Amino acid sequence: MKLPVYDIEGKKTSVEVELNNEVFGIEPNYHLIHQAVKVYLANQRQGTAKAKGRSETAFSTRKLFRQKGTGGARRGDRRSPVLVGGGKTFGPSPRDYSMKMNKKQKLLARKSAFSDKAGSSQIYLIDNFSFEVPKTAKFVNVLTGMELTGKKVLVVLDTYSSVDEDSKFNNTVNLIKSVLNIKNANIQLADTVSTYEIMNADCLVIQKDALQTIDRVNE
What's the pLDDT tens digit per position in 58-113?
A: 999 999 999 999 998 888 999 999 999 999 999 999 999 999 999 999 999 999 99
Q: Are residues 122 and 199 in the same domain?
A: yes
Confidence of residue 32 (pLDDT cuts 50, 70, 90): very high
Query: Is the pLDDT score of 3 beyond 90?
Result: yes
What's the pLDDT tens digit per position in 151-175?
A: 999 999 988 765 577 888 888 899 9
Which residues have a Cβ under 8 Å from the Cβ of 158 and sit 6 or more positions away? 128, 172, 189, 190, 207, 209, 210, 212, 213
Residue 90: per-residue pLDDT: 95
What integer best gives the mean pLDDT of the chain? 92
Confidence of residue 204 (pLDDT cuts 50, 70, 90): very high
Q: Are residues 84 and 157 in the same domain?
A: no
36 belongs to a structural domain:
no
The alpha helices in the chain, defined as continuous H runs, are 21-24, 30-43, 103-119, 136-145, 166-180, 195-200, 210-217
Domain finish residue from 56, 72, 96 = 96
Q: Are residues 77 and 151 in the same domain?
A: no
Give the CATH number, domain containing residue 202: 3.40.1370.10
Q: Are residues 68 and 173 in the same domain?
A: no
Number of domains in the chain: 2
- Report the distance separating Cα 40 and Cα 56, nearest Å: 34
Element (H or E) spanning 86, and its range?
none
Domain finish residue from 96, 120, 155 = 96
Q: Are residues 19 and 83 in the same domain?
A: no
Which residues have a Cβ under 8 Å from the Cβ of 48 and sit 6 or more positions away? 94
Q: Are residues 131 and 24 in the same domain?
A: yes
Residue 85 structural domain: 46-96
Q: Are residues 155 and 114 in the same domain?
A: yes
Q: Are residues 17 and 112 in the same domain?
A: yes
- Report the distance separating Cα 195 and Cα 41, nearest Å: 11
The amino acid at residue 70 is T
Q: CA 213 from chain center: how many Å?
A: 19
Q: Are residues 89 and 107 in the same domain?
A: no
Domain finish residue from 96, 111, 128 = 96
Q: Are residues 203 and 106 in the same domain?
A: yes
Q: Are residues 25 and 112 in the same domain?
A: yes
40 belongs to a structural domain:
no
